[in-house]
Structure 1
Amino acid sequence: MTNVPVTTWSLEQTAPTDLLPAAAPDGDVRVVRSEVPSPEFSRFLYASVGGDIRWADRLRWSYARWSEHLERPGVETWVAYDRGTPAGYVELEPQDDGAVEIVYFGLLPAFRGRRIGGHLLATGTARAWDLAERWPGRSVTKRVWLHTCSKDGEHAMANYLRRGFTLFDTKVEEEPDGPPTGPWPGAHPA
């Protein structure tokens, strides 16, 4: 397997007023919090959204590890549904310093290019800013941050910038270049 250079950009918002809204997508698109921790559902979202862009680190997680992660206070999964079908998700993870990381964000391939991503990102970011309201004992959010990389979707960086995120760090590292994982072999066209 060969290595390829991968650029990782870290972006942040430092005030709720940094968040810029997105136009609502056409049709019946709703963003709903998945309130019952479900390793099966979260793994489905992770594999389905990240399969063609080579998300692989969590594919090796056991059921117990998924459960432990999802049951941590403040970890939230917000899911976009298009006419009742899961279209994408945002995973939020609070940190002790008042920051909330958008750990994962993305759409299933069939739902990309339909303005759902901007709406989902704006909604997920707003929920990061008001996360403490849903979790007594959590400190008020002071910063929302995320990272994206050159392996992510071609419109990811532009979406983050349009929602008001600003760049604060860039790194380039060599990573193994493997085939897309997909939720199952052949699920994503080359």
Structure 2
Amino acid sequence: MSTITLTTWSLEMTAPGDLVPAAVPGPEVRVERAEVPSPEFSRFLYASVGGDIHWTDRLSLTRAQWVEQLGRPGVETWVAYDRGTPAGYVELDPQPDGVVEIMYFGLLPDFRGRRIGGHLLSVGTARAWDLASRWPDREPTRRVWVHTCSQDGPTAMDNYQRRGFKVFRTETEEKQDGPTPGPWPGRRPAVTPPHTASPGPGPRAGPPA
């Protein structure tokens, strides 16, 4: 397996006034908080958004581990919908000392390039800044940060910088290159029917997991 040089950029915003909101794409797009933590829904979003851009770290988590992650105080998932269909999401991760990380952000493949991403990031960043208003035990946000890498979508860095994020750290590493899991991780491949003396229907391919 070949190796590639992976570059990771960490970006931050240190004041709510630094946010430069993108234009709202239209009335058919709305962004709502998923107030009831749902491991199944969050895993669908994670796998569907990240399947072609090397998101793999959460694919092996058990349902209990998903419940634990989503149930932490201050963790929020904000979902963009296009005429009722999930188009993408932002997951906010609260950290000590008033820091909030945009842990995951992205769009499902069919919704990219339609001006939804800038609006979703704008809303997600704004909600990171006012997170304490929904979690009384949390101190006010003083810093919002995010990281992106050279395997993310080609417009990711530009979107962050247009919204007002500034790079504060750049790291590079060598890693093994490999295929992405695709939008259907865990799907069983079709099975080639074995050769038999008598023709008949072969084994069926398993459904997507």
When normalised by structure 2's length, the TM-score is 0.87
Q: How far apart are residue 2 of structure 1 and its match?
A: 2.2
Q: How many residue pairs align between the two structures?
A: 187
Q: How far apart are residue 136 of structure 1 and its match?
A: 1.0
Other structure's SS at 2:37 match: coil
Whether contact under 8 Å (1:52, 1:182) holds in the other structure is yes
Deviates more, 1:1-10 or 1:143-152: 1-10
> Runs of at least 4 residues of structure 1 off by over 4 A?
none
Q: How far apart are residue 26 of structure 1 and its match?
A: 3.2
Q: How far apart are residue 62 of structure 1 and its match?
A: 0.5
Q: Which residue number in structure 1 is paired with residue 86 of structure 2?
A: 86
Other structure's SS at 1:36 match: coil
The reply on whether 1:146 has 2:146 as its aligned counterpart is yes
Question: Matched residues in 2 for 1:69 and 1:14: separation?
Answer: 25
Q: Which residue number in structure 1 is paired with residue 28 of structure 2?
A: 28
Q: Which residue number in structure 2 is paired with residue 167 of structure 1?
A: 167
Q: Which residue number in structure 1 is paired with residue 59 of structure 2?
A: 59
The reply on whether 1:11 has 2:18 as its aligned counterpart is no
Other structure's SS at 1:58 match: coil
Q: How far apart are residue 120 of structure 1 and its match?
A: 0.1
Q: Which residue number in structure 1 is paired with residue 74 of structure 2?
A: 74
Q: How far apart are residue 182 of structure 1 and its match?
A: 1.8
Summarize deviations over 1:15-72 as a string: whole Å, max 9, x none. Answer: 0000001011135000000001100000000000000001001001110000000000
Question: Matched residues in 2 for 1:48 and 1:95: separation?
Answer: 26
Q: How far apart are residue 177 of structure 1 and its match?
A: 1.2
Q: Which residue number in structure 2 is paired with residue 125 of structure 1?
A: 125
Unmatched runs of 5 consecutive residues or more in structure 2: 188-209
Whether contact under 8 Å (1:12, 1:165) holds in the other structure is yes
| Alignment RMSD | 1.4
Question: What does 1:91-130 align with in structure 2 at a 5 Å threshold?
Answer: 91-130=91-130
